[in-house]
Amino acid sequence: MEDNLDLLIKKCIDNDRGGQLRIYQLFSPVLYGICLKYMKNEDDAKDVFQEAFIIVFQKISQYKFEGSFEGWMKRIFINKLIETLKKKKKDYHFLDVFDPETEIIEEEELETIPITQEKLIEYIQDLPDQYRMVFNLFVFEKMKHKEIGEMLQISEGTSKSNLNRAKKILQTRILAVLNFKTA
Amino acid sequence: MKKQKIEDIFSSIENFSSVPPPELWANIEEKLDKPKKKKVTAIWWSLAASLLVGLAITSGLYFNSNQNNILLKDNNNNVVLDNKENNSNTTPSTTNKNTPLNSKDVVTVAESDNLVTDENLNNNQESTKATTTSINKKEKTLLKSNNEVISLAESSSKNKKNNSSSKQNNSKSENNLKAEKEEKIALNENTQSSSKNESNTSFSKQDSNKVSNTLISKDKGIVSNNSTQSSSKNESNTSLSKQNQNETNNTLKTSKNKGIASNNNIQSSSKNESDTSLSKQNNGTIGTLAKNEEIALSNNTQSTRNNASTAGVDSTLNADKNKGISLNNNPATNLTAFNDSLQKVQIALELQQLENRLNNKDDKEDLKTEKEILKEKWSVGLYAGVVSSQNYGNKKSLGNDIESKQNTGYGVKTNYKLNKKWAVSSGFKINELGQSVANVSYYSKQNTLSAGLANDFFISSPNVEYISTNRNYVFSSNNDNQKVESSATNNLTGNLDQQLQYLEMPLEISYSLLSTSKAAIMLNTGGFVGKLISNQIFLDGNSIGGNLDVNNFVYGSKLSSTLQYEVFKQTHFFVEPGVNYYINPLKTQSFNQFQWGLNFGVNFGF
């Protein structure tokens, strides 16, 4: 079946269930992947995924047919994910004070080891919420610390610090796997 | 062994995708109609609230104007200036006896002690109270009636919902049928054929190759993973097959309109150029043979590809544009075909890479825009505009119709966004409320009245309300029976303009009807309190002092709409049409209370 994306979007605007299903089928894997990266576990990811997809369909009439539709949806998802995580502020493990002397972690170059994508996702999910958010925004969304700080309402230094902590945790886990394999 | 940084390791899951469990769509579908109802209800509530506010204001005005008219009629013989006040009948008659002129029909504009009696004030208060009560009653009735409207609307909406639900059920069954149909999984393990697998949730299209196909199926038999391993050398021929045609051809189509496949798999592991190029695209250091295996072998002669979640190849062959492409090892096809195919794949990959870069750039820009909107919680604006004070109650002053008057206003306001939809604002505004009365009869102490008479007149008018700071002018109603009856006087006519300037402090709440990165439309409502800072009366353009009847503080309500457009970064130009209602500009006299305004301004977000 040939799909015309614009036509599908128009169908969704008209609340056509077929069009909505097709959009869902086309984009759900990528968007669900994003949810898995940002949330702590699959259950949380499912919840946000559903809510964000509903927002997509509700707001699809606001899409101006300019730029990437997938990008537009990703933006909604990321905002929703951040909003959800912000609501769980009590779970945050903030590292508010940034001390460049102590916080900069020397990045160790790791030997290439094949690790499944699922495992990598699992490592990210195991990070504390705040670290995970910063790590995702920095590594995958290519945002700068200043931008992350503004988005999460934390200081630039806190963002840097959280990223370093996240990297450190991930590095430790990967090294453990590496040691286990080489042993 | 090659070394890499932690970020490089994780960059392989930058475009990670995973097929969501099938039940999620059912949940989404179920919830899709719910917000609609909420929205419809919200619209009805908003409409009802607007109607209520509108009717309350209108009824307030209506009662006010009626009250004025009644009073004017009641006091037709006694009151010259159409005061709201219910003057007692005794006072004018007393005055009548004491004055050489028929002063019961006269209004003086002169500075003097205020001789308004307590009785009059009390009457006025009672009358105001009565009006308020009556307005309240009216409001209650309206509220009740509005509730009825709302409940009707809700019931109507409910019916509609039922209809749509049944429709949805139909659609659901259709979808289920469709889904069942689509859940057929075909897996062809023949070495030279490609198979197309399409599931209702993933739409993944898959190929299987001869060497070792590892098929990992997830929930409910949906095939989402396919990894292929091959150790064939250069002599192995590879053909490109277009998946959805289920036959091998060497055409690579990149058509925008040809759907967006979310799981495209490229499978090749022959140790040749194609493998190298594909590995490059696939960030090919991390691979798996199966979902649950953590580490897969990676060596120079064998390349293993995991297409499980389309992460690797999807990053390069983005789902946006291409149908699935598979690269099959086929010893039967010739090397030329392989090279052609290879070139096409490379071109496609390069194109896709470029496109991804562009998309990422777009995404980032979009994110920035959203952030900027959220970031600008505060804004400060400067504005100025024209206002027109209107008379909507057929009010009269000195027997003449009160006319509208144009003035200007300017101010500064600050706005704080509570969330994406709601905001509060306040500030300061210099605003003018005015009115004109044409062809007013008046007598000038200096020019018209003879000195003796004038003195007598002014001195011996204890019942007259002195409402101006200038005592030299006496105004008379145009009504024949209210004119000053004296042969010694010649009444003049002139245009009387009054202008009250206030320093107002509004407090508004705004609801964003539309908000984009550049433009916004908001609906604002609220109230204001104003302090009188200037009070002037002009007779034919000449100032004759101020009106003594004014209140030093004025209260009112506002309703406006803001149309805003971002002209520079964080700088917006806005136009704000609106209407103000002044509750009490003057104590007793009639005055324009409605004011239309059109403000222009700029605000700066931060």
Residues of A in contact with B243 (CB under 8 A): none
- Same structural domain, A104 and A67: no
Residue B117 is predicted with a pLDDT of 36
Residues of B in contact with A120 (CB under 8 A): 9-10, 12-13, 286
Residue B540 is predicted with a pLDDT of 83
Task: Report, as an integer, the average pLDDT of B40-50.
Answer: 65
Q: Is the pLDDT of residue B429 over 90?
A: yes
Q: CA B449 to CA B488: how far, in whole Å?
A: 7
User: Which residue on chain A is closest to B179 by alpha carbon?
Assistant: A21
- Same structural domain, A128 and A81: no
* Parts of chain A with a pLDDT under 70: 1-3, 89-113, 180-183
Residues of chain B above pLDDT 70, percent: 37
User: Which residue on chain B is closest to A178 by alpha carbon?
Assistant: B295
Pick B474 or B201 by higher pLDDT: B474
Residues of B in contact with A28 (CB under 8 A): 19-20, 24-25, 201, 262
- Interchain proximity B6–A171, CB inside 8 Å: yes
Task: Report, as an integer, the average pLDDT of B376-398.
Answer: 82
- Interchain proximity A112–B1, CB inside 8 Å: yes
Q: Which of A87, A115, A133 is the last residue of a domain?
A: A87
Pick B307 or A177 by higher pLDDT: A177
Highest-confidence segment of B248-262, B320-334, B573-587: B573-587
pTM confidence score: 0.35
* Positions of CATH 2.40.160.20 in chain B: 101-115+376-605
Residue A156 is predicted with a pLDDT of 87
B421-457 burial, b at 16+ Cβ within 10 Å, e below that, comes to eebebebebbbbbbbbbeebbbbbbeebbeeebbebb
- Interchain proximity B28–A53, CB inside 8 Å: yes
Q: Flag the least confident range among B74-88, B431-445, B581-595.
A: B74-88
Give the model confidence (pLDDT) of B109-130 as tens digits. 333 333 333 444 344 444 444 4
Asked if residue A171 belongs to a domain, the reply is yes
Task: Output the average pLDDT for chain B.
Answer: 60
Residues of A in contact with B171 (CB under 8 A): 17-18
- Same structural domain, A113 and A175: yes
Using alpha carbons, select from A119, A21, A42 the residue that is nearest to residue B308. Answer: A119
Q: What is the CATH number of the domain that holds A69?
A: 1.10.1740.10
Q: What is the CATH number of the domain that holds A177?
A: 1.10.10.10
Residue B187 is predicted with a pLDDT of 36
Sequence-distant (6+) residues with CB within 8 A of A90 are none
ipTM of the prediction:
0.82
Asked if residue A29 belongs to a domain, the reply is yes
pLDDT band at B313 (very low <50, low <70, confident <90, very high): very low
Q: What is the per-residue DSSP string for B242-288? A: EGGGTEE-------TTS---S--------SSHHHHHHHHHTTTT---
Q: How many domains does chain A fold into?
A: 2
pLDDT band at B104 (very low <50, low <70, confident <90, very high): very low
Highest-confidence segment of B137-141, B344-348, B535-539: B535-539
Pick B49 or B592 by higher pLDDT: B592
Asked if residue A93 belongs to a domain, the reply is no
Minimal C-alpha gap between A97 and chain B (Å): 22
Nearest to A5 among B29, B260, B309 (CB): B260
- Same structural domain, A60 and A115: no
Residues of B in contact with A24 (CB under 8 A): 25, 28
- Same structural domain, A125 and A81: no
Give the model confidence (pLDDT) of B58-70 as tens digits. 566 555 554 444 3
- Same structural domain, A67 and A104: no
- Same structural domain, A106 and A163: yes
Structural domain harbouring A147: 100-182
Give the model confidence (pLDDT) of B236-256 as tens digits. 333 333 343 443 333 333 333
Task: Report, as an integer, the average pLDDT of B19-26.
Answer: 88
- Interchain proximity A167–B4, CB inside 8 Å: no
Asked if residue A94 belongs to a domain, the reply is no
* Interface-testing mutation among B28, B352, B365, with chain A (most A C-beta atoms within 10 A): B28
pLDDT band at B41 (very low <50, low <70, confident <90, very high): low
Residues of A in contact with B286 (CB under 8 A): 113-117, 120
- Interchain proximity B371–A147, CB inside 8 Å: yes
Residue B411 is predicted with a pLDDT of 94
Query: Which residues on adjacent β-strands are paired with residue B475?
Result: B107, B442
CATH of domain B101-115+376-605: 2.40.160.20
Asked if residue A92 belongs to a domain, the reply is no
- Same structural domain, A49 and A72: yes
Residue B442 is predicted with a pLDDT of 72
Nearest to A74 among B202, B296, B363 (CB): B363
The radius of gyration of chain B's CA atoms, rounded to the nearest angstrom, is: 41
Asked if residue A95 belongs to a domain, the reply is no
pLDDT band at B430 (very low <50, low <70, confident <90, very high): very high
Q: Between the CA of residue B550 and those of B403, B454, B477, B584, what are the distances in Å?
A: 18, 26, 20, 9
Which token pair is B101?
A: 């002129």
- Same structural domain, A43 and A71: yes
- Same structural domain, A104 and A178: yes
Residue B509 is predicted with a pLDDT of 93
Q: Flag the least confident range among A69-73, A157-161, B544-548, B599-603.
A: B544-548
Residues of B in contact with A3 (CB under 8 A): 257-260
pLDDT band at B176 (very low <50, low <70, confident <90, very high): very low
Minimal C-alpha gap between A141 and chain B (Å): 7
Which token pair is B480?
A: 């024949």
Which token pair is B381?
A: 């604006």
